[in-house]
């Protein structure tokens, strides 16, 4: 929006002031992340920029921390653990969350508000409280310290994201489509997979991505519920920071930033696709 020719002095000040504020917000959000990236290529085992790096001398940079990450047993084990836990947790979150969202969008379901609030609560309750609660509960039923326990815990954390995104997509879903499908002879299961699912898929997938990232980034709950066998990447980074301050963490962090950007880009593509489908559909 360009500045109008009749703008008053106050409006002019606000016009530029607003841009400065926005710039500052972006700076504080992004700078800490950006600074990690060059540091991860540090040739030394330091967390700071060396004089050589500042001089842009190629000798000041190296991939050794990345090599560390890909060769160290601990890190590789952690990565595999994360890659085993996150997809399983995502799968559970997506299936249960989508079903819950569809159920809760039916007007005849009683206590919808209360059920929704309970299902969303893992997102609102402080993580440490959920973690402590899960620890005691899972210990009692023998899930504490197991792979399945961690997966379940992460699924519980991911479900709210799926419910929220799918519910949002369902608001724009035209109910007469399911009626049309039934009228044309399709049973409920076929209607769900052939008509409803393809149309709410963007919501399901973006919910799934959030659930995946939640599990992939999660450190508090896994510390409580997991055992040494379930050391995930964030857990390894956490211990790495505490015990052996190595820039390998920075290399891992850079990789994670890359993955996050990739996932966010996917989300955006999906969002545009769904808008195209819905924006032009008659509803």
Question: Residue numbers of the site for another protein (CB under 8 A)?
Answer: 174, 176-177, 179-188, 190-191, 194-195, 198-199, 277-278, 280-283
| Smallest distance from another protein to CB 172, Å | 11
Judge whether 235 and 82 are in contact, CB under 8 Å: no
Strand partners, 42: 61
Contact 176, 124 (CB under 8 A): no
**Token couple for 172:** 């724009």
Nearest approach in angstroms of CB 202 to another protein is 11
Three-state SS for 42?
A: strand
CB of 114 or CB of 280, closer to another protein:
280
Q: What is the largest CA-CA distance in the chain?
A: 73
Strand segments, DSSP code E, in 138-240 are none
Which CB sits closer to another protein, 84 or 278? Answer: 278
CB of 255 or CB of 277, closer to another protein? 277
CA 75 to chain centre: 21
Euclidean distance between CA atoms 13 and 209, whole angstroms: 41
| Distance of closest approach, residue 177 Cβ to another protein, in angstroms | 5
Q: Token pair of 82, please? A: 């994360």
Nearer to another protein, 143 or 199 (CB): 199
Q: Closer to another protein by CB, 110 or 185: give it.
A: 185
Angle between helices 73-104 and 112-124 (to 10 degrees): 160
Residue with Cβ nearer another protein (67 or 273): 273
Q: How far is the CB of 103 from another protein (least distance, A)?
A: 19
* Min dist. Cβ of residue 166 to another protein (A): 16
* Cα 199 to Cα 42: distance, rounded to the nearest angstrom: 47
Query: What's the min distance (Å) between Cβ of 270 and another protein?
Result: 14
């Amino acid at each position: 929006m360009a500045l109008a020719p009749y703008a008053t002095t106050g409006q002019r000040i606000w016009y530029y002031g607003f841009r400065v504020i926005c710039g500052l917000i972006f700076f504080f959000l992004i700078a800490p992340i950006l600074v990690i990236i060059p540091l991860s290529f540090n040739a030394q085992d330091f967390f700071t920029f060396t004089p050589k790096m500042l001089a842009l001398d190629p000798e000041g940079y190296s991939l050794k921390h990345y090599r560390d990450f890909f060769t160290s047993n601990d890190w590789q084990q952690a990565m595999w653990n994360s890659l085993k836990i996150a997809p399983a947790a995502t799968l559970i979150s997506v299936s249960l969350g989508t079903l819950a969202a569809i159920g809760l969008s039916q007007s005849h379901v009683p206590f919808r508000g209360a059920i929704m609030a309970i299902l969303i609560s893992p997102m609102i309750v402080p993580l440490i409280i959920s973690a402590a609660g899960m620890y005691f509960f899972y210990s009692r039923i023998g899930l504490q310290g197991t792979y399945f326990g961690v997966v379940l815990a992460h699924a519980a954390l991911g479900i709210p994201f799926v419910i929220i995104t799918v519910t949002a997509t369902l608001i724009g879903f035209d109910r007469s489509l399911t009626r049309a499908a039934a009228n044309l002879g399709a049973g409920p299961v076929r209607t769900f997979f052939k008509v409803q699912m393809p149309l709410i898929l963007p919501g399901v997938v973006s919910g799934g991505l959030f659930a995946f990232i939640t599990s992939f980034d999660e450190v508090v709950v896994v510390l409580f519920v997991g055992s040494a066998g379930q050391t995930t990447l964030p857990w390894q980074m956490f211990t790495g920071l505490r015990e052996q301050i190595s820039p390998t963490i920075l290399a891992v962090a850079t990789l994670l930033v890359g993955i996050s950007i990739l996932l966010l880009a996917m989300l955006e593509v999906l969002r545009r696709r769904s808008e195209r489908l819905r924006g032009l559909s008659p509803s």
